[in-house]
Each structure stands twice: as C-alpha cells, then as structure tokens.
C-alpha cells in the first residue's frame, strides 16, 4: 500500500535529521513536537518541515503538533530501519576500523556481522566480538549468513574485483569508499562515499570572490 514515491536525496537527508532530532526528544520523554520546533532546531523553515512530513502521510494535530512516537514510526518505516539487515566491512584499515567502531550500527537498518581483510596480521583479531576473516571467505560467508550489504574500504585498485565477488555472492547493496567507479549489475544498489568530494567542496565554497 505504501506508495514508494521517489524521494529526492535532499529530502532523505532532511528526514534523517528530523528523525535524529525527534528520537532525542523522545528519549527526553516528550510526546509531541511542532513543525516550528523542528525547524528552529535544525535551522530551516517550518513550512519546509511540514511539507516533508506531508509527503509521509503525516498525522499531526493542529494546535498540538505531531505525535513523536508516531512520527518516528513513519520515518523508520520509510527508511526500512526496523528490518535489521546484515552488513559486512571489507578492508580493515584505518577507515574500516573507524567505520566498524561507529555507533551508527544498531541505530537502525544494518547490523555489522563480519569483517574481512587480506592482511595476515589483521586476520583473526577480534573487534567488538567480530573476528576479522580472510578475504577468501567473502563469498561463502555472504551466502551463509545472508549478508545484504558490503562496505568496501579497500584500495581503489582492488575495489572492482571485490565488488564482483560480493555481487556474485548475491549482495543487494554496496557502500563504496574506494575512489573508483564500480561496474555492477543494476540490481545492486551502490552508494559512493567519496571523501575527496567534501574537500573539494570546501575549497570551492571558500574560494575568494
């Protein structure tokens, strides 16, 4: 029933911010929140907030605001955050390490269940109850565990090869931190997280007039 109307990236970003904010309010025991409260907290116009929530099929009460628990439910449902999917990290260098240690896991959507590396000195060590495995095991583990998403933090030169392995193992999504364009079957969703991009954007935005 939930019509999967295409959502702009900007809108997804905003909704994620709303969610973060209202989940915090929820922890504080608040029941209702108004569009202006959200807007003020995040530095945007209340009307913008209302329209985004309108798109969700919102159900606020005039003079009172939106029921927080309901709104949280709507957004989590939209993002499919309550179906916990399995994820793995491939490449346990500094970046892989940093990502593995992030508190984003469990905050919704994905559960980190495996880590792979090809460095013999890394293989076998335990990090947050996850043992680092040999890259050779990728295919089998993805199949066996039913892993849906792979975070790729290997060097650019290895990225395409890894991507082919995980795709053939039946992965559904790739979060690619390698600065390389991956060629994948179009059933696989790829999110490229280029770090260099942030740097260039800053350079551009601070360019002297």
Which residues would be at the binding site for a copy of itself (CB under 8 A)? 4, 7, 9, 12-13, 16, 20, 41-43, 78-81, 85, 93-95, 97-99, 101-102, 104, 107-110, 148-149, 172-173, 175, 179, 181, 189, 191, 193-209
Q: How far is the CB of 4 from DNA (least distance, A)?
A: 13
Stretch that binds DNA, among 57-65, 79-87, 92-100, 178-186 (CB under 7 A): 57-65
Helical H segments across 28-172, by residue range: 35-42, 46-55, 68-78, 94-100, 138-145, 156-168
Dihedral pair phi/psi, residue 8, rounded to 5°: -70, 155
Q: How far is the CB of 13 from DNA (least distance, A)?
A: 9
Instruction: Identify what 45 binds: a copy of itself, DNA, none; CB under 5 to 8 Å per kind.
Output: DNA
Please state, in angstroms and as integers, the Cα–Cα distance from residue 111 to each residue in 82, 86, 152, following that order. Answer: 11, 5, 16
Instruction: Identify what 102 binds: a copy of itself, DNA, none; CB under 5 to 8 Å per kind.
Output: a copy of itself
DSSP state of 81: -
Please state, in angstroms and as integers, the Cα–Cα distance from residue 77 to each residue in 15, 56, 80, 82, following that order. Answer: 12, 10, 5, 7
Instruction: Identify what 16 binds: a copy of itself, DNA, none; CB under 5 to 8 Å per kind.
Output: a copy of itself
Site for DNA contains 96 (CB under 7 A): no
Q: How far is the CB of 196 from a copy of itself (least distance, A)?
A: 4
Site for DNA contains 163 (CB under 7 A): no
Dihedral pair phi/psi, residue 50, rounded to 5°: -60, -40
* Site track 9-48 with DNA (rule: CB under 7 A), x = hit: -xx----------------------xxx-------xxxxx
Interacting residue with DNA among 20, 30, 59, 191 (CB under 7 A)? 59
Query: Tokens representing 147?
Result: 């892993």
User: Would you call 209 helix, strand, or coil by DSSP?
Assistant: coil
CA distance 88 to 159: 15
Query: Tokens representing 39?
Result: 């807007």
List 117's β-bridge partners, or say none. 134
Site for DNA contains 66 (CB under 7 A): yes
* Site track 71-90 with DNA (rule: CB under 7 A), x = hit: --------------------
């Amino acid at each position: 029933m939930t019509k999967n109307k295409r959502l702009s990236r900007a809108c997804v970003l905003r909704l994620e911010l709303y969610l973060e904010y209202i989940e915090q309010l929820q922890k504080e025991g608040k029941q209702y929140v108004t569009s202006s409260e959200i807007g003020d907290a995040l530095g945007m116009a209340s009307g913008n907030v209302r329209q985004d929530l309108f798109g969700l099929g919102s159900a606020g009460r005039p003079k009172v605001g939106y029921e927080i628990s309901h709104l949280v439910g709507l957004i989590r449902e939209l993002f499919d955050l309550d179906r916990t999917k399995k994820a793995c990290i491939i490449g346990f260098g500094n970046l892989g390490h940093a990502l593995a240690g992030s508190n984003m896991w469990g905050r919704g959507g994905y559960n980190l269940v495996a880590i792979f590396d090809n460095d013999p000195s890394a293989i076998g060590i335990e990090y947050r109850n996850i043992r680092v495995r040999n890259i050779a095991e990728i295919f089998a583990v993805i199949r066996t565990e039913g892993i849906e998403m792979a975070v790729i933090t290997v060097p650019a030169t290895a990225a395409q090869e890894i991507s082919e392995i995980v795709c053939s193992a039946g992965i559904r999504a790739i979060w690619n931190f390698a600065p390389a364009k991956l060629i994948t079957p179009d059933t696989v969703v790829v999110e490229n997280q280029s770090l260099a991009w942030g740097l260039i954007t800053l350079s551009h935005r601070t360019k002297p007039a």
